[in-house]
Amino acid sequence: MEYTKNNYLYGTGTGDTWHVNIDPPTRKVRTYFEETVEAVEYVYANKVGKFTVMLSGGVDSQYVCEVLLRLHIDFDVVIIELKNNDNQNYNEHDFKYAYEFCKNKNIIPKTIRLNFDQLVESGKLIEIARSVSCCMPQLVTCLYVINQLDGFILLGHDPPTLRFIREQNIWVLEEFQWAHAYLRYYKKFNLNGCPYILSYTPEMMLAFLLDPSIVKLGTGQHPGKLGSNSTKSHVFNRGSDFNIPVYDFDSKIRIKYHGFEEIEKSKISQHDNMLIFKDFYKIWNGEYLEPYTEVIQRLSIFQ
């Protein structure tokens, strides 16, 4: 099965030559929730093996679980606990949200306790990063775990992401080269699963961008905001009534973490196999940007 429907979303090049192709929908789109349901039902009908969701503690993977629960689809949940050589947690501040969600939904998760220090010291982190041109150790760590799991692995990877560019006073859709490492890894190792379930179809892509909350953001009606992270929960909740909390780096309700906050302050962060990611960032941090109003016009051929 395709990793994105009909391969509508794919990247080429690297660094300064990084470019992302996004094909338009094949029909008029509905709400993002309705398009998510259709995509998940399609994937479920064509998958091999039981759904396994990587639950990070963020709202994206929570949304995936909420959709599966709404559709009464059986699935497993995997939570990653990162440990140091003294068996102390690196990411408890992040995965606590995942455990809290599972408790509230009567889900018994499978916990993967990974010695992150050993992963770095072994050189395996660097090996994986080089294999898919990825400059983000957080993502590479997730890929390492995924390749050891059974079932049909679903990632609640970011839906379309918007960013405000102050110098040009415009909102843009952004697609990073490092984020597409999920797609590259799945393809390279022919993994069973879906790394981009929240952007699986072109209809989902456009439906997200046309959500009223995103339209207001992308057309400059929320002065002061710089990105879409604190807005996507509104999209997830529209029509679904999931009541997923809004979060951002400055949120008082739910803080947004990237998971490596404690690792960045630890001794292992100074290991050569971590410091090299600064060099990787210089060559693999390709960024595709397309003005919001232009991408809407280009993709809305059936609207």
Pick the CATH number of 5-299 from 3.40.50, 1.10.10, 1.10.3720, 3.40.1350: 3.40.50
pLDDT at 259 over 80: no
- Residue boundaries of the structural domains of the chain: 5-299
At what angle are helices 124-131 and 137-146 packed, to 10 degrees?
100
Residue type, 186: Y
Half-sphere exposure of 289 (CA within 13 A, CB side): 14
Q: How many residues does the chain have?
A: 303
pLDDT at 254 over 60: no
Alpha-carbon distance of 28 to 26, in angstroms, equals 7
**Stretch 24-30: mean pLDDT, rounded?**
97
Alpha-carbon distance of 126 to 140, in angstroms, equals 8
Percentage helix, strand, coil for the chain under 3-state DSSP, each rounded to 5: 45, 20, 40
pLDDT of residue 93: 80
Please identify which residue in the block is written with the tokens 């490092």.
178
State pLDDT tens for residues 203-225: 999 999 999 999 999 999 988 88
Please, what is the average pLDDT of the chain? 94
Alpha-carbon distance of 222 to 188, in angstroms, equals 41
State pLDDT tens for residues 52-93: 999 988 899 999 999 999 999 999 999 999 999 999 999 888
pLDDT at 7 over 90: yes
Our separate counts of H helices and E strands in the chain read 13, 10
* Cα distances (Å, whole numbers) of residue 255 to 26, 82, 94: 37, 19, 9
Alpha-carbon distance of 188 to 207, in angstroms, equals 29
By percentage, how much of the chain surpasses pLDDT 70?
Answer: 96
Alpha-carbon distance of 6 to 42, in angstroms, equals 13
By percentage, how much of the chain surpasses pLDDT 90?
Answer: 86
State pLDDT tens for residues 119-145: 999 999 999 999 999 999 999 999 999
What is this structure's pTM?
0.94
**Stretch 26-53: mean pLDDT, rounded?**
97
pLDDT of residue 247: 59
Nearest to 68 by CA among 189, 195, 179, 156: 156
Alpha-carbon distance of 294 to 291, in angstroms, equals 5
State pLDDT tens for residues 268-288: 999 999 999 999 999 999 999
Pairing of strands 193-194, 152-155: parallel
**b vs e for 194-230, b when ≥16 Cβ sit within 10 Å of the residue's Cβ?**
bbbbbbbbbbbbbbbbbbebbeebbeeebeebebbbb
Locate all alpha helices (DSSP H) within the chain, ordered by sequence: 32-46, 59-70, 92-104, 116-122, 124-131, 137-146, 181-188, 202-209, 212-218, 232-237, 272-275, 277-284, 292-299
pLDDT of residue 253: 54
At 249, the pLDDT band (50, 70, 90 cuts) reads: very low
